[in-house]
Amino acid sequence: MQAKWKAALIWLVLAVAGFYLINELIVVGVINAFIENMLVTIGINIILATGLNLIIGFSGQFSLGHAGFMAIGAYATAIITQQISNTLGFYLSLGVGMVIAMLVAVVIGIPTLRLRGDYLAIATMGAAEIIRVVINNLKITNGAAGMYNIPALANWPTVYVFVCLTTLMIVNFARSRAGRAIQAIREDEIAAEAVGINPTKWKLAAFVMGAATAAIGGSLHAVYIQTIAPSDFGIMQSISLLIIVVLGGVGSITGTFVAAIVLGVLDTALQQFGALRMVIYALALILIMVFKPSGLLGRYEVSIKGLLERKGGHHGTTDSHEVE
């Protein structure tokens, strides 16, 4: 069996084993409702941050508009599930939210992705604020009061499965021809354009896929928390996701997982400190970035395929962005 297929099988076994391990720990009482809530929050943050990492880490576009796409997914799910309050309604709303988010991403991306660096960050932040203000003033979204009593249609198994699916989607995209194109643009846009790569086209592709994963995260957030408001999707939400990406390592999917878990556990452990919690949390972030400015993992990725090839005596190089 080729190393690629062996690696895929090993990842599948690890994903299934992780699922059953969490389930057993819940059954025996090791994981209580409080810890389960933490795991769900971490899972949703992983979905959101991996999509943002695709935009920032792989295509090199500094976006601060992720919360806007998350809001689209959350409100699409809240509106539709209050009319169709079953699993079918949830998956229908999930699809609708993704489509709307992708269309909005195209509308926003075509004019803004020609910008770079700080200018792009300001433009995407403004676009997210426009989305939030529109939601804040629509009757169908209940305005600033937000939406309540959203059916509880997601639990930890739902989030776990979506973490696996979205990660698989993003990793496969990053390893595809399109993924190599956006990484070439990140390294040197002029050189990439010189060899026939259309920068706007591929940056837009990454931006749209990131928006789709943000909508998925927003949908899961809505049906798990059961209450949403426009204030939930402000600039601080985008910055929180940016912190996960930078802390884990820009361009590292493995790093995003590690950072989301570390920050999720840290935030939960500091709940007992009240207002002091945010001071300790911020201090921990500062210390980590001072001593590890490239993030916890830099651009390192866990590559089972690479390990199998080394074990089998193959000494070929492996892509630093490969998660296999």
This prediction has a pTM of: 0.89
Beta bridge partners of 228: 147
103-130: average pLDDT: 88
3-state helix, strand and coil shares in percent for the chain, rounded to the nearest 5:
75, 0, 25
Per-residue pLDDT tens over the stretch 216-250: 999 999 999 999 999 999 888 898 898 899 888 88
DSSP state of 197: -
- Helix/strand/coil for 196: coil
Closest CA to 43 of 206, 155, 171: 155
Per-residue pLDDT tens over the stretch 261-313: 998 988 888 877 777 777 877 787 788 778 888 888 877 777 776 666 666 65
Q: Which domains does the chain have, with CATH numbers?
A: 3-311 (1.10.3470)
134-162: average pLDDT: 91
- Contacts with 233 (C-beta within 8 Å, 6 or more apart), sequence order: 67, 68, 70, 71, 74, 128, 131, 132, 135, 218
Separation between Cα atoms, residue 104 and residue 99, nearest integer Å: 9
pLDDT for position 172? 87
Beta bridge partners of 147: 228
Structure tokens at 93: 């709303």
CB count, 10 Å around CB of 113? 24
